[in-house]
Amino acid sequence: MYIVKEEMGFSPPEFSTYVSAAAGSSLPGKSRKQYGSPERLIGYDGGTVIMKEIFLHEIRGAIFGGKALVAFVLMLAAFLISLGMMSREYDRRLENYSMSISLPAEQLFWNKIFFWEFDDGDFTSSDNSTEPLAKVKEPDPMIFFARGFDTEMRQGVNFLANFPIIELSKEPEQEKNLLHLMFPAPDLLFMVKVLVSLLAMVFAYNIFCGEREQGTLKLMLSAGASRGAVFGGKFLGGLVSVWTAFTAAFLVYLLALSFLTPVSLGGDAAARVALIYAVSLLHIAVFFGLGAVISAFTRNSAPSMVLTLFVWIVVVFVLPGLAALTAQQFAPVDSEDKVARLKFEKATDMEREYAEANPGVTRSYSGSYGARHDEIRHLIAAELQKIDDENERSKALQTALTSNLARVSPVGSLSHLFTSLSRTGIDDVRLFREDLLEIRTEMDRIFTEFVQDPNFLQLYMEGRFDIPEEILEVARPFIDVNRTAKFSVPSLSETLASTWIDFGLLGFFAVAAAALTFTRFIFYDPR
């Protein structure tokens, strides 16, 4: 007994307890052989053959015992339901998008100009509507995998007649049926996060305690299998079974996606999907490992199951929820409304100061200054941009805090990886906003030029409501920017550069769970 302790270098209490119990009089005849030599305990006696046997047995058991089939059917059902729901949502998104871009830009532009008023030798708009000459991002088919921050990327450049001339504004919620908001369509991420993790844990919850209950663990160990071999065979066998079931379901899902929906995953999408698949395998390994840890720490299946479910609830629902709540508490963000109010107050103050400094200036009846006071409008726009930037910064802080806190749970890393690989992650939103600002600035510049064109002014003052073609030519670039401006798409390497930490974390969780299971299993009492 003491040799074992010395070679192991430490003496865990459970181990010495049952070792001394075995040495005591209550169980005569149990000898050192029962627990194996130190070499056999940690398994480097060349047990690869036995390990392979156990491994194959485990997989055969899963496949012919129906467990793998049930898992496959469940995953497939979940994935196909997600596909159906998401394709409905995607269709509607696409429809909305094509409606948005089908508006004849010239016509809208013309309507704008027509409703501008000539007042006090200056142009102002009498039309405050947010009629869009909007640049809206095309829906990305990758939202099937993770919807992520997709809604954040439904912003557009709206052509507001007031200052700042062209404003970024979020499209109002397109979904008017509130039921859709109460029960949002599940994307693949949701199914992997909730269902696949549960199935992986259910595969693992009794791999050791179940064998012990049936008395087969004793038999295996006494038949000469080392603990390392038993651990390796059972762990890998179980894991490969779940992986197989998942792979099959995932392949069918991909087939359905390419044949049943008009989605085509061009470009680097294939590589992204492959990475999503790899991430899912890692995620399964983590949750399988968690189940195995619980199995190695419990003696019976029933308590192991209960503990497994608790751990699942805590890891999948409670920890990410707590992370979000904590971040909201410690890094608060101003509401959109408050920001709008701050902006309004700032603009009003600056306008008042300007009016006091320039006594001759009057305001149009819609309350804004015209294009002639371009300088002050741009000053105001710059100040308002500062308020926006400040708000963006606090949002970014809260986002960073939430995501870092959520990484306590492997589900946090999973969400990051899925959304980033689906181009709907945090970094993608940032990129999108930068692009949008650029387009806004460009449109703003062209429009200002157009309105200040002396020919246009001259014609308008003569009361000509139909602007001739040559003047509209000046507006052409404006319409073109709206049409041709593209949103940049992050390359795969950029995505990988921002997500390596999550790959690392998931890998760490998987290895740590396996290592903990193994360490614990060495001291597991097989009786």
Partner 1 sequence: MTATIAFKELLASVRTLRFVIIVLVCCLLVPVSVAVLSNDYLAEKGDYEGRKALEDGREGGRIQEVGVFRPVPQLMALFRGVSVHSINGIELNDDPWNVPLSSTVQSPTEAVFPTVDLTFIIGFVLSALAIILSFDSLSGEKAMATLRLLMSNSVPRSSLVIGKWLGLTAALLIPFLLGMVISLMIFILITGIGFGADIWLALAANTGAAVLFISLYILLGIAISALTKTPSQSIFIGLGIWGLLTILLPQIAVATADSLVPVPTIKEVEQNIRIATNEYYQETRETNLELVERARQEGWEWVRLRQARRDHEYPRETRHRHRVISMERDYWQRVLRQEELGRAIALVSPYGSLNQALISMADTGPESQRHFIEQAYDYGLWYFDELVDDPNDSPTDEKAAAMAPFEYKPLAFVSRLEAAILPLLSLALTNLILLAVGVVAFNRYDVR
- Tokens 């004849």 appear where? 104
Least Å from the CB of residue 131 to partner 1: 8
Least Å from the CB of residue 458 to partner 1: 15
Judged by CB, which is closer to partner 1: 26, or 102?
Answer: 102
Distance CA 62, CA 40 (A): 27
| Plot region of 159 (φ>0 → left; ψ -120 to 50 → alpha; else → beta) | beta
Least Å from the CB of residue 309 to partner 1: 5
Judged by CB, which is closer to partner 1: 394, or 448?
Answer: 394
DSSP H helical ranges for 364-468: 374-406, 410-421, 426-452, 454-461
Least Å from the CB of residue 326 to partner 1: 8
Judged by CB, which is closer to partner 1: 149, or 518?
Answer: 149
Judged by CB, which is closer to partner 1: 35, or 253?
Answer: 253
Q: How far is CA 380 from CA 100, 121, 389, 445, 474, in A?
A: 29, 22, 14, 15, 26
Q: Which residues contact 163 (CB under 8 A, 6 or more apart)?
A: 347, 368, 369, 377, 380, 381
Judged by CB, which is closer to partner 1: 128, or 222?
Answer: 128
Judged by CB, which is closer to partner 1: 222, or 300?
Answer: 300
Q: Which residues contact 171 (CB under 8 A, 6 or more apart)?
A: 134, 136, 154, 155, 156
Least Å from the CB of residue 176 to partner 1: 5
Distance CA 376, CA 347 (A): 10
Least Å from the CB of residue 47 to partner 1: 30
- Give the helix/strand (H/E) hosting 330: helix 319-330
Least Å from the CB of residue 341 to partner 1: 5
Residues 87, 144: contact at Cβ < 8 Å? Answer: yes
The values of phi and psi at residue 366, to 5°, are -85, 5
Distance CA 143, CA 90 (A): 8
